A and B are shown apart, each in its own frame.
Chain A
Amino acid sequence: MNLELIEKLSGVKEEIGRAMVGQKEVIDLTLTALLAGGHVLLEGVPGLGKTLLARTLARVLDISYNRIQFTPDLMPSDITGTNLILTGRDDFQFRPGPIFASLVLADEINRATPKTQSALLESMQEGKVTVFGETRDLPRPFFVIATQNPLEMEGTYPLPEAQLDRFLFKVLVPYPSLEELREIVNLTTGTAQAELEPVMTGAEILEVNRLAREVPVADKVLEYALKILVSTHPESPSATPMVKEYVQVGASPRGIQSIILAARVTALLEGRFNVSFADVEKVCVPALRHRLFLNFEALGGGINPDAIIAEILDATERG
C-alpha cells in the first residue's frame, strides 16, 4: 500500500491552510467529500471564502478548475457545452462547457432554473454528459462544489429534495472568528501573497478514493451508523421525539452510503486504517442534514435538521 499517499493527505491540509484562514471544519469536510468521490453543497453568505476554497483545492490538488456562476437565464448547454457549426465546415463540432473540469464551482446554484440545475446534477451523478445524443465522459476525478446563499431567497429556485440527495455533504460555512478575521485582513490586503504548491495529483486522488473503500469497518460501528440512519425515519421504533414530531421524510439508503464512505476517508485523513464511532459521528451531521425533509411544524418553529441529528446521536447507543 502506498503509505506516502496517506502522508500526503496531511500535506494537502497544510497547504490549503496556507491560503485559507480558519474554516478548518469546512476544509476538512470538503476534502473528505472530494477524496470520497462525492460532491459538496456549501451554504453561507457571500464573502466567506467559498470560491477561494475551490480555487485553492484545485491548485493544491493540481486538477482542472472551472467556475460557473448560476443565473436565472443560464441554459443547460451553457454548462454542458453544445455542438457548433464552425465556419468552413459542414458538420457540428462539440464545444465542451465549463463542466468539463475536475473541480467545478457551481456558484449560487439555486439561482438557475430547475432545468439547468438538473443538467448539472445529472452530470454529477453519472460522471457523463449527453449532448445531442452523444455521451461524453467527464474528466476524472470530477468534483462539484455548489454554493447557495441562505438569505436571498427571492428569485431563487431551491434545489428539490431528490437533487439535494446527490450531494455527499451539505456544509454550512460559518463566519470567521475575530482572530481569523485579523489574519484574513493581513493575508489579503498586504503585498505578500501565498504561493501554493501542488501536493497531489488527480490520479492520486483517485487512488485515495480506491483505498478509502478498503478501510475496514467493525460490525458494531456499521450497526451504529445504521441505527442512526434508521432513527431519522419517523415511523421507526427508534425514532426520537423530535424526529416523530418534525421529520416528514427521513434519510435514504444513499445517506448511509455517504456516512460510511465519508467515515472511511475521515479515518484515513486522521492516519488510521479503521473506522471508529467518532468518525461516524463526525460526518453524520453534514451527511444527513440535507437528507431530512422537515414538516411545516419544524419550519414554523425554526427547528433545523442539525438539532434533530444531534438528538439522534445522543439517543443512539454505541455498539
Chain B
Amino acid sequence: MAWPQELTMLSKVRRKCRVEYWLAALLLAAAAAMLAYAGVTLLAAPFPALSPWRLPLAFLAAAAVAVVMWRVQPGDLEIARRLDKDLASEERVQTLVENRQGQSPMLQQLRRETADYFRRRQPRYRWDKKRFFAPALLSGAAAVILILSIVFSPHLAQSIAQRREVLEQQQEAAEQIEEIIELLPENPLGEELAAQLEDLLEQVYSLTAPGEFETLLREALELLESEREQAAAIESALEELLAAMNMPPEELAEALGDPEFAAQLAEAMNNLAETLPGGMDLASALKELAANPSAAEASHWQQIIEQLEELDPSAYRENLQQAVRAAEEMCACEENSEGEGEGEGSGKGEGEGSGEGEGEGSGEGEGSGEGEGEGEGGGNSEGGSSGSNGGEGFGSGTADPSPSSYVYIPGQGEVILSGEGEPGEYTLRELIPNNPGLVDDYTEFFSGYRRQALSRLNRSPIPRPLADFVRSYFEAIAPQGGK
C-alpha cells in the first residue's frame, strides 16, 4: 500500500529505516554464508567429496537468509511504529497509516495536524545501533569460526585419515594374529603360547602408532620362533627321557632301585621339566618324581609315560614350523627382519708397510675402511725387489684411534693382542679378527632381550604409556640391516 501523502516528508527517514534493516540483513546473510562455509569445510575433513560444495552452499545459505529477511521485512505499519518511537510523534504516524483509507472529518483533521506537526519539527532519523549489535556479533563470531575452520580443517582431515589408517592397521594386525592363533596346533605344549598370542590380540586395539603394529607382529613372530626352539629342546629332552624309560613300568620301578639309573632318570626328568612350559602340570609332576624317583609305583610311571607320549613335541614343532612360515609370509615385518641394511662409512688412515719378494715383481696391498667415525684404514705398501719371479707383497696399517673408540671388555677370557699397540690401546674392531668369540652378534642378543622384555610387558600390569615407552625403546635400538 502507498505511504500516506501527508507523510511524504517522512519518506527520507522511512528509506533510511529500510536501509538500516537491509544492512542488518546483509550482516546476517554474511554470517550465514560464513557459517555454512565453515560447516562444510569442517565436514569436508571426513567427507572430502563435500569440498567443492563449500562456496555454492555458502551462497545458498546467504540467499536463504536474504529470502527470509525479505519475507519478514517491516511493512509500512512497522516502519510507522518505529518512526513514532524515534520521532516522539505520539503515535500520529501509525494511526495515520492504519487509517490511510478513512475519510472521516476526524481523520482529515488528523492528517492536517500531523502534517503541521512534522512541518514544525524536521524529522531526523537516528540510526538504531542496537539493531546492528546482534548481527554484527553473529558475523564476527562466524568470521572467527570460518578462520578457525580453514586453519584447522587440514589438521582435522589429517587426524581423521590417521585414525582411519590406525583402525585399518588394528584390524589387519588383529586378523593376522587371529590367523596365527588358528594355525597353532592343538597341543598341551601350545597353551601358553596361545594365551600369549591372545594377550597380543587384546593389545592390538590399544595401539595407535603405525610402528607399534609392526613391533607387535614381530613380537608374535618371535614368540612363535621361540616356541619352535623350545619345542626342539623339549623334543630332545623327551627323547632322552623316553630312551631312559624304555622298558615296561614294572621293570622301570624295579630298575630304579639302582641309584645310578635313578640319578640318570632324575636328571633326564629335570631336564624335560625345565624345558616344559612353567604352567604345565606335567612339569611339576616330573620335578616331584625327579626328587625321589624310586618312591613311585609302576602305575604312576605308566601314567607319566602316557602323558609324555601325548606330548608329541616333534609334531608340535613341525606344526609350529608351518605356523612360523605362514606368519612370516603374512607379516610385513618379515621383510624388515631379514632385509638389507644400508650404511655409510668413511675411513681415513695411515699405514706403513714392508714387502719381501724374490725376483722381480711388485707388491701391492689395499685396504678399505668402513665404519662410523672411526679411523680405520688400510695402507698401501710397495715393496720393490729384484728377481726373476714375481714377487708378492702385503701391507698393513693402523690408524690412530680416538679415545672414544676404546672399549672396556669385561670377562675373564684371554684376549689376543696383535700389532704394536700396548694393552688398552686397541679398538674393538682391531681385536675381533683375532678374537672372534669376543662379542656376540647384536641381532642375536637383541631379539632375546626384546622377547624377554615384551613377554614381561604382556604378563605384568604395567601402565600403558610405560609399556609403549619400552616398545618404542626396542624399536629404536632394533638392528638395521643385520648390524
Contacts and interface: CB of A to CB of B under 8 A. Distances in A.
A274 B104 contact: no
Nearest to A6: B109
Interface in A87-107: none
B94 A216 contact: no
Interface stretch (B95-103, B154-162, B243-251, B360-368): B95-103
Interface stretch (A33-41, A114-122, A135-143, A218-226): A218-226
A3 interface: yes
Interface string B97-124: 0110010111111100100000000000
B182 interface: no
Contact of B106 (A1, A218, A221, A319): A1
A272 interface: yes
Contacts of A274: 90-92, 95-96, 110
Contact of A216 (B81, B85, B90, B107): B107
A273 B94 contact: no
Contacts of B102: 216
For chain B, which range describes its interface: under 10, 10 to 19, 20 to 34, or 35 or more residues? 10 to 19
Contacts of A214: 104-106
Interface string A150-169: 00000000000000000000
Nearest to A213: B106
Contacts of A273: 106-107, 109-110, 113
B99 A272 contact: no
A276 interface: yes
Residue from B95, B96, B102, B104 whose CB has the most chain A CB atoms within 10 Å: B95
Interface in A237-289: 271-278
Contacts of B109: 1, 3, 273
B90 A278 contact: yes
Interface in A266-315: 271-278
A236 B110 CA distance: 36
Given A273-B113, A319-B81, A216 B106 contact: yes
A215 interface: yes
Contacts, number: 53
A217 B95 contact: yes
Main secondary structure of the interface of A (DSSP, over half): loop
A208 interface: no
Interface in B256-275: none
Contact of A218 (B85, B91, B104, B108): B91
A275 B109 CA distance: 14
B81 to A, nearest CB: 6
Contacts of B113: 271-273
A1 B105 contact: yes
Contacts of B99: 216
Contact of A211 (B81, B92, B96, B106): B106
A50 B98 CA distance: 41
Contacts of B107: 216, 273
A275 B81 CA distance: 14
A272 B111 CA distance: 11
A294 B205 CA distance: 74
B104 A219 contact: no
Given A216-B98, A219-B98, A275 B91 contact: yes
Nearest to B109: A273
B88 to A, nearest CB: 10
Nearest to A318: B85
A277 B91 contact: yes
Interface of B: 81, 85, 90-92, 94-96, 98-99, 102, 104-110, 113
5 contacts: A1-B105, A216-B95, A216-B107, A216-B110, A274-B110
Interface of A: 1, 3, 211, 214-221, 271-278, 319
Top 10 closest pairs, chain A to chain B, by CB:
A276-B90, A1-B105, A274-B95, A273-B110, A214-B106, A218-B95, A276-B91, A218-B94, A273-B109, A218-B91
Given A218-B98, A271-B113, 13 more contacts: A211-B106, A216-B102, A217-B95, A218-B94, A219-B98, A272-B92, A272-B113, A273-B107, A273-B109, A274-B96, A275-B91, A275-B95, A319-B85
